[in-house]
Structure 1
Amino acid sequence: MEPVEVDAGRVRLRRWRVEDADAVLTALRDPVLQLWNGVPATTRDDAVDFVRRRADWSAGDHASWAVADAGTGVLLGSVSLHSVDRQQANAQVGYWTVPAARGRGVAPCAVDAACRWAFAGLSIERVELCHAVDNPASGRVAAKAGFTLEGRLRASYRYGDGRKHDELIWGRLAADPPPGLSS
């Protein structure tokens, strides 16, 4: 896959750049991100490695974007499609936002934009989103981004606290009506 940029109104999904490393390092030190995303980055080199891995789409099994403010270009977060399976036409989506972007509709907008791109650009038919039961904010993001709650996965994933958490699984189909997000 070749990286693409996606205009999503007030946010833009763009390629990761090495210049993002300092903002990424700051973001990944946030205790909320450390708990629910568990991406370790304690040094600038770790952050540069994070950015480089996300910018490389050559394996064809993931697409990852920096979520930036469309007006200022300031980094607001990350959204990624992973476990992309073109034969089954399925993918999973993950995301995070910097603390200042939370509660402003950034995550639902970015997740929706990534899904729309997957449906149109990759002919994906189903995108899944999983999150810890103890992280209700992610459930709100899923619902706002047009996902349907499908079930609970017991002791499904080990998060940043080292414990296995139950997760809720949400699905969004290409045939589902788009969410009513305003840009």
Structure 2
Amino acid sequence: MNTSAPPPASPGPADRRAFVRTTLDLGDMVLRPWGREAAESETVLDGLVAAAADPLIALWNPLATADRGDALAWLESRDGGWDRGAAASFAALAATDGALLGSVTLRWVDRTDGLAMIGYWTLPAARGRGVATRATRAVTGWGFRTADARRVEIAHAVGNEASCRVARRCGYLPEGTLRDSHRFGDGAYHDEHLHARLATDPDPADPTGEPTA
């Protein structure tokens, strides 16, 4: 008689606050769920290794992807978040050649209460092209529509001005400063700016020719 516990079930349609794998097509950019399938692309694996080595990502969004083996383990952990419906991690890929541009992740802080947090990073070659702004807008709207998110927050280091611009362009209103809130890649605790959007907030206007992140 088999007495082992069954594996955890993937979230089903009845779980209204589950993030369910989907691909978001933004035209020239595709947001595809991070996971084991991405390991089939050496370009994407090498992109993750390059991201870990970038000074800005290493400071504000450190990644444990120093080599391809680490990148594979990282991808498996992203798969786990999707399996539980707890975190939605997307790779931002160029539609033309599949090159990795960046990443955006929406995760539950309090799933029962509908409170989530979103974060993002972009590779150096993709900066200044609106990648983070467009990806964050798309995933925010998707979270409100499909997972019944009530409130989504962005918390970024006060010194990370590019992230602040992205938050504002995506309609995340500033709500204050969190003192010594988070330890970043330099090992020090930094103050963070807190931004948030509610599901009931109006959609933000499109950016108008400003420099983008």
Q: TM-score if structure 1 supplies the norm length? A: 0.93
1:95 aligns with 2:120: yes
Match of 2:184, as an amino acid? Y
Superposed CA RMSD in Å reads: 1.4
Give identity over the alignment, percent: 45
User: How many residues end up aligned between the 2 structures?
Assistant: 182
Instruction: Give the Cα separation in 1 of the matches to 2:63 and 2:69.
Output: 14
1:54 aligns with 2:72: no
Q: Is the 8 A contact 2:58 2:185 kept in 1?
A: yes
Q: Structure 1 residue 84: deviation in Å?
A: 4.8
Q: Is the 8 A contact 2:48 2:71 kept in 1?
A: yes
- Larger strand proportion, structure 1 or 2? 1
Partner of 1:123: 148
Q: TM-score if structure 2 supplies the norm length? A: 0.81
For structure 1, the residue ranges without an aligned partner over 5 or more in a row are none
Query: Deviations along 1:151-175, whole A, 9 cap, x unmatched?
Result: 1000000000000000000001111
Match of 1:146 among 167, 171, 176: 171
Instruction: Give the Cα separation in 2 of the matches to 1:21 and 1:55.
Output: 15
Query: Deviations along 1:86-120, whole A, 9 cap, x unmatched?
Result: 32111000111000111111001001111011000
**Aligned ranges 1:131-142 → 2 under 5 Å:** 131-142=156-167
SS in 2 for 1:58: helix
Partner of 1:73: 98
1:45 aligns with 2:63: no
Partner of 2:9: none
1:7 aligns with 2:31: no
Instruction: Tell which structure's C-alpha radius of gyration is larger.
Output: 2
Runs (4+) of structure 1 exceeding 3 A deviation are: none
Match of 1:168, as an amino acid? H
Moved more, 41-50 or 134-143: 41-50
Instruction: Give the Cα separation in 2 of the matches to 1:108 and 1:181.
Output: 10
Instruction: Give the Cα separation in 2 of the matches to 1:119 and 1:156.
Output: 26
Moved more, 100-109 or 55-64: 55-64
Instruction: Give the Cα separation in 1 of the matches to 2:96 and 2:171.
Output: 25
Q: Is the 8 A contact 2:51 2:63 kept in 1?
A: no
